[in-house]
């Protein structure tokens, strides 16, 4: 079975009395260990798809399973627990808490786990080391470059060792050099740590870092060979 499977997913929104369909019958299969870039015009449903994979949003109909768990059949509380244990999310604008330093930001997901303060500190240190930020534990986000903040965001996303990483425009706010460093890091996490990655992006360079690209248009996926 694929790690992620969507079958016949329907999803739309109601604005006032008007129903706006986004997906009428979306199918998708992603094997474990894949690194998929999702591209498509603004409004094509990329964020909606990512929100469904994250269990933040649910399909109106159809099935959505990740690792044999039916997200479409879980309630909100179960989805949020599932999310905390199984996935990390990397955001375009990092979503770091400004009043917390780098180490405290990375530590946040671990506060849900039965770990001692010492175990958490060791784990956070390893993660900051992995993203090339050891020595910057005490720095606050406002003192860091965008690229450094995104690396803190990546460390936070993987600190609980989730199998799945969802990335929403991870290079969208970065200069080319920082963007390439972030992409290098995502490729490393995919190849060496076997993270499955689904990344929404407008950045063609980011898409080239992925193993394959899915183009979302008019509610359907169109797969294209890597360019
Ligand atoms: P993200 O992928 O980071 O969520 P999107 O590009 O998907 O951002 O856009 C989210 C929403 O914001 C969409 O509904 C889109 O129509 C709107 N949007 C995106 N970019 C612009 C823009 N430059 N100007 C106006 N609206 C935008
Ligand atoms: P993308 O990320 O590709 O820009 P989105 O998933 O953000 O696309 O949006 C797909 C369509 O659904 C857009 O037309 C958007 O305006 C609409 N949409 C997204 N979220 C909502 C919402 N919460 N309420 C109403 N309409 C929404």
Average per-residue pLDDT for the chain? 95
Q: If you take atom 14 of ligand 2, which residue's CA is the nearest one?
A: 43
The CA 52 to ligand 2 mean position distance, Å, reads: 12
ipTM of the complex: 0.68
Q: Please report which ligand is nearest the Cα atom of 173.
A: 1
Is 14 a pocket residue for ligand 2 (Cβ < 6 Å)?
no
Quick check: CB of 47 below 6 Å from ligand 2?
yes
pLDDT, tens only, 115-126: 999 999 999 999
Q: From atom 27 of ligand 1, which residue's Cα is the shortest distance away?
A: 42
Give Dmax over CA atoms of the chain in angstroms: 55
Residue 25 makes CB contacts below 8 A (sequence gap 6+) with: 8, 9, 10, 62
Q: For tokens 């603004």, name the residue.
A: 42
Q: Whose CA is nearest to atom 18 of ligand 1?
A: 42
What tokens appear for 180 in the block?
A: 């390439």
Ligand found nearest the CA of 12: 2
Distance CA 48, CA 53 (A): 9
DSSP state of 11: E
Protein residue whose Cα sits closest to atom 21 of ligand 2? 13
Ligand closest to 200 (CA) is 1
CA 105 to centroid of ligand 2, rounded, Å = 29
User: Mind listing the pLDDT tens digit for each residue in 3-39?
Assistant: 999 999 999 999 888 989 999 999 999 999 999 999 9
pLDDT digits (tens, 9 = 90+) for 52-73: 999 999 999 999 999 989 999 9
Segment 167-193 shows an average pLDDT of 97
Strand 35-39, strand 18-30: pairing = unpaired
Q: Please state, in angstroms and rounded to a whole number, the distance separating the CA atoms of residues 168 and 56.
A: 14
pLDDT at 222 over 90: no
Encode pLDDT of 69-109 as tens digits.
999 999 999 999 999 999 999 999 999 999 999 999 999 99
Give the contacts of 138 (CB within 8 A, at least 6 positions apart). 101, 102, 103
Q: How far is the CA of 47 from the centre of ligand 1 (A)?
A: 9
Q: What is the DSSP letter of 210?
A: S
Residue 66 DSSP one-character state: E
Distance 155 CA to ligand 1 centre (A): 26
Q: Which two tokens stand for residue 43?
A: 């409004």
- Cα-to-centroid distance, 40 and ligand 2 (Å): 13
pLDDT classification of 226: cutoffs 50, 70, 90: low
Nearest ligand to residue 45 Cα:
2
Ligand 1 pocket check for 46: Cβ under 6 Å: yes
């Amino acid at each position: 079975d694929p790690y992620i499977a969507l079958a016949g997913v329907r999803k739309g929104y109601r604005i006032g009395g008007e129903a706006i369909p986004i997906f009428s019958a979306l199918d998708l299969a992603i094997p474990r260990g894949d690194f998929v870039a999702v591209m498509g015009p603004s409004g094509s449903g990329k964020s909606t798809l990512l929100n469904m994979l994250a269990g933040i949003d649910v399909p109106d109909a159809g099935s959505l399973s990740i690792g044999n768990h039916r997200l479409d059949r879980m309630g909100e509380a179960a989805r949020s627990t599932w999310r905390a244990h199984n996935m990390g999310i990397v955001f375009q604008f990092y979503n770091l808490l400004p009043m917390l330093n780098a180490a405290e930001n990375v530590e946040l997901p671990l506060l849900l786990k039965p770990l001692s303060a010492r175990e958490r500190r060791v784990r956070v240190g390893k993660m900051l080391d992995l993203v090339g930020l050891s020595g910057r534990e005490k720095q606050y986000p406002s003192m860091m470059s965008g690229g450094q903040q995104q690396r803190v965001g990546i460390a936070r996303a993987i600190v609980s060792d989730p199998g799945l990483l969802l990335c929403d425009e991870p290079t969208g706010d970065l200069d080319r050099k920082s963007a390439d460093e972030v992409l290098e890091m995502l490729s490393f996490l995919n190849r060496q740590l076997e993270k499955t990655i689904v990344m929404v992006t407008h950045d063609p360079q980011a898409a080239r870092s992925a193993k394959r690209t899915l183009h979302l248009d008019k509610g359907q996926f169109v797969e294209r060979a890597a360019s």
